[in-house]
Amino acid sequence: MESCRLLWIIFISATLFLYVPGIMVFHKEFQNAGKEPGLQIWRIEKMDLKPVPKQLQGNFFTGDAYVVLYTTSAPSYNVHMWLGNECSQDEGGAAAIFAMQLDDHLGGAPVQYREVQNNESVTFLGYFKTGIKYKQGGVASGFQHVVTNDMNVKRLLHIKGRRAIRATEVNMSWASFNRGDCFIVDLGKDIYQWCGSECNRFERLKASEVAIGIRDNERNGRASLEMVEDGAEPQAVLAALGPKPNIPAGSPDDETTDRSNQKKGTLYMVSDAAGSMKTSLVAQSSPFKQEMLTPTECYILDNGVDSKIFLWKGPNANTEERKAAMKVAEQFIKDKNYPKNTQVSDLELAPGGETTLFKQFFSNWKDKDQTTGPGQAYSIGRIAKVSQVPFDASSLHSNKTMAAQHGMVDDGSGKVQIWRVEGGDKIPVDPSSYGQFYGGDCYLILYTYRQGSREQHIIYTWQGLKCTQDELAASAFLTVKLDDSMGGSPVQVRVTQGQEPAHLMSLFKGKPMIIHMGGTSRKGGQSQTGSTRLFHIRQSSTRATRAVEVEPTASQLNTNDVFVLKSPGGLFQWKGVAASEEEMAAAKYACSFLGGSATEISEGKEPAGFWSALGGKKDYQTSKSLQKTVKPPRLFGCSNKTGRLIAEEVPGDFTQSDLATDDVMLLDTWEQVFVWIGNDANEVERNGADKIAKDYVDSDPSGRRGTPVITIKQGFEPPTFTGWFQAWDAKMWDTDPLDRIRARF
């Protein structure tokens, strides 16, 4: 049997690779891999690669294996091999081979991860802010990733988690329910979000985001949504599930990370001495010294008690050790009797590509371009030699694979029409102001492009964070009405302010998105523009630049960004010490529409008139760590209800809305640690906040001590805290977030 499997693995390898002396011919699917920032996902189908449509990224069949590539604007790369609980060994082997091939194609620059269903890394979960969905079945059962308007769907999804959201398809039966969680009863044209009597508001909020994503992405906006309370189920739900029995209580959420375990790291060296791969102990426990890593060797950093294993491959290590390291790690997991779902991070061609989680085990880590202290030059990773090419609209039209990989139907050069929702109707927006939005309004954006000889349409429904519930309802109604008037052919995409997809941003021809305060559909008409206005300009990790109007006060300033100030005394363009040139270019555009000649000023050289216009000089975020940090900031939701520290990290780029008001949150900026106490946090968490912070710092595997800890309460945040969030809104919690998201139904 073992010999048959060996022959099968050799066959798979032969079909996936073609070696010529000194040359490797890569799979055609990798031709455009890594050429643009963002996410690309492929599924293993009959030992071949098939791209997953952009709209369905985040959906994973439990019987399949996937290869996932995330490219940053640096560029740097993360390659993930994802394995479903029911995928075959052959599919898993094929995914591993494809991941290696993709790594080689990108010059060895990526960090590789081995992901297992229900135990994905925080890095992986961060790509899917509205959660990931596990679907039953797989390619062997005939299940395909297809965007469809099929309304004959009938499934039940169990929503679990507060930070890392997972939606798992379960049996369509009341036996799958419990009172502590939310569930989505998906009946195709009607989607019901069922909320258990014991689930909290934050869980309802996250479940609603999943439900909205199903409607907007999987049904192209052509389904109705309804939130259902436990005990008030409509007839359609009862008809689908049968008579309702007594529902059991919920179980504790086990999707947490015990920080106290992380200090138990052990370091091993991997060598091929005596003709076989062996591991030898280097250091029994962290913190380690960076000097322990020799460039000619490979190492395993064992954090198995926290279900994590790291592989560090020295840039000068021999080929045999490098290629065998992953297999050695898997054998290591078996020898240690660690769970099969233990995560493996393969840090290829380090130094330079190490992750934050890896570096935290070292007390003296310095990156390649770092000199001394935080705030110095930070190298994300070795840049692979991949040619960077601009979008070619004709190629995108003719190459569906390229369009799916880039998440772009074209380069945004088609026809754009924009309407503002006003008085229950849509009012055309002057084309000269396209790209400018009011945070208190909703907009309809119709994009028309040609695909071959056919005309295609996308309707973006943009909803400002400060719009009214009436406007939210009207925007949804007007979207459906516009869709119907065009024969139901357009793709519908609902967009919340600050979460605009790449293609929508491309419609503004490289200009930043401008978001004004106020709105136009107010009693008495247009909101009055203030005599003094301040715009916060920041470029995101995906290179999208936004200029967001904020309260004109000096506490809003941030040393990492650019601000434009217009006052009766003049127009100022303020550049923080750590701001980028791209942000400066966006600021010049913002100045052009505000009118007048801008005076450029640098941080620290402000004239008196600048401070006077802002109501006087105040404290603001002066840490340069936000953009050029050795260790980027991390946000955790914390709890000690069980008597031990539990800290669950918020995946991906965090925002103000990730601060759960019923939790104690911990923001680690490495120079200092903030403990944020939500208004609805329970007494145990409030009283234990100091212990949470102390345990967090003491459990840091790098052995750091003496880090300043600042405890703050919701509504009383200082600028040193708010500066880590773009366009902090002091009035955000005046409106219940759950009421706002209900209006999106």
Domain 533-537+553-622 has CATH 3.40.20.10: yes
Indicate if the pLDDT at residue 453 is higher than 90: no
Over residues 282-322, the pLDDT tens digits come to: 888 888 888 888 888 889 999 887 778 888 888 787 777 77
Cα–Cα distance between 291 and 351 in angstroms, integer? 12
Collapsed DSSP state (helix, strand, coil) of residue 222: coil
Kindly report the CA angle at 360 between 354 and 366, in degrees rounded to 5? 60
Strands (E), 351-453: 415-422, 425-428, 436-438, 442-451
Q: How confident is the model at residue 631, as a pLDDT?
A: 63
Q: How confident is the model at residue 1 (pLDDT cuts 50, 70, 90)?
A: very low
Cα–Cα distance between 508 and 300 in angstroms, integer? 47
Domains 155-250 and 533-537+553-622 share a fold: yes
- Domain boundary assignment for the chain: 28-141, 155-250, 265-363, 399-516, 533-537+553-622, 634-743
Q: Which of the 8 DSSP states describes residue 725?
A: S
Radius of gyration of the chain (CA): 26
**Highest mean pLDDT (candidates 37-51, 217-231, 499-513):** 37-51
Average pLDDT over residues 560-572: 92
If one looks up domain 634-743 in CATH, what number appears? 3.40.20.10
Domain 28-141 has CATH 3.40.20.10: yes
Domain 155-250 has CATH 3.20.20.70: no
Q: How confident is the model at residue 21 (pLDDT cuts 50, 70, 90)?
A: very low
Kindly report the CA angle at 261 between 256 and 264, in degrees rounded to 5? 150
Indicate if the pLDDT at residue 501 is higher than 60: yes
Average pLDDT over residues 247-251: 84
The alpha helices in 455-557, defined as continuous H runs, are 469-485, 502-506
Indicate if the pLDDT at residue 110 is higher than 70: yes
Query: And the tokens for 14?
Result: 């032969």
Average pLDDT over residues 452-464: 84
CA-to-CA separations, 542 to 32, 163, 382, 456, 507, in angstroms, rounded: 17, 22, 18, 26, 16
Backbone angles phi, psi at 281, to 5 degrees: -70, 130
CATH of 265-363, one of 3.40.50.10420, 3.40.20.10, 3.30.70.270, 3.50.50.60: 3.40.20.10
Indicate if the pLDDT at residue 257 is higher than 60: no
Residue 360 · residue 330 · CB < 8 Å: no
Q: How confident is the model at residue 157, as a pLDDT?
A: 94
Over residues 371-381, the pLDDT tens digits come to: 332 222 222 23
Indicate if the pLDDT at residue 401 is higher than 70: no
**What is the DSSP secondary-structure string of 231-288?**
T---HHHHHHH-S--PPPPPPPP-----GGGGGG-EEEEEE-GGGS-EEEEEESSSPB
Cα–Cα distance between 287 and 263 in angstroms, integer? 8
Residue 537 · residue 562 · CB < 8 Å: yes
Over residues 33-66, the pLDDT tens digits come to: 988 888 999 999 988 999 998 888 999 999 999 9
Over residues 316-342, the pLDDT tens digits come to: 877 777 777 777 888 888 888 888 778
Over residues 629-671, the pLDDT tens digits come to: 446 788 988 765 555 556 788 887 788 888 988 888 989 887 7
* Fold assignment, 399-516: Severin (3.40.20)
Q: How confident is the model at residue 417, as a pLDDT?
A: 95
Among 737, 213, 222, 225, smallest CA distance to 495 is for 213
Report the chain's mean pLDDT, rounded to a whole number: 79
Q: How confident is the model at residue 413, as a pLDDT?
A: 82
Cα–Cα distance between 584 and 591 in angstroms, integer? 11
Q: Are strands 425-428 and 415-422 parallel, antiparallel or unpaired?
A: antiparallel
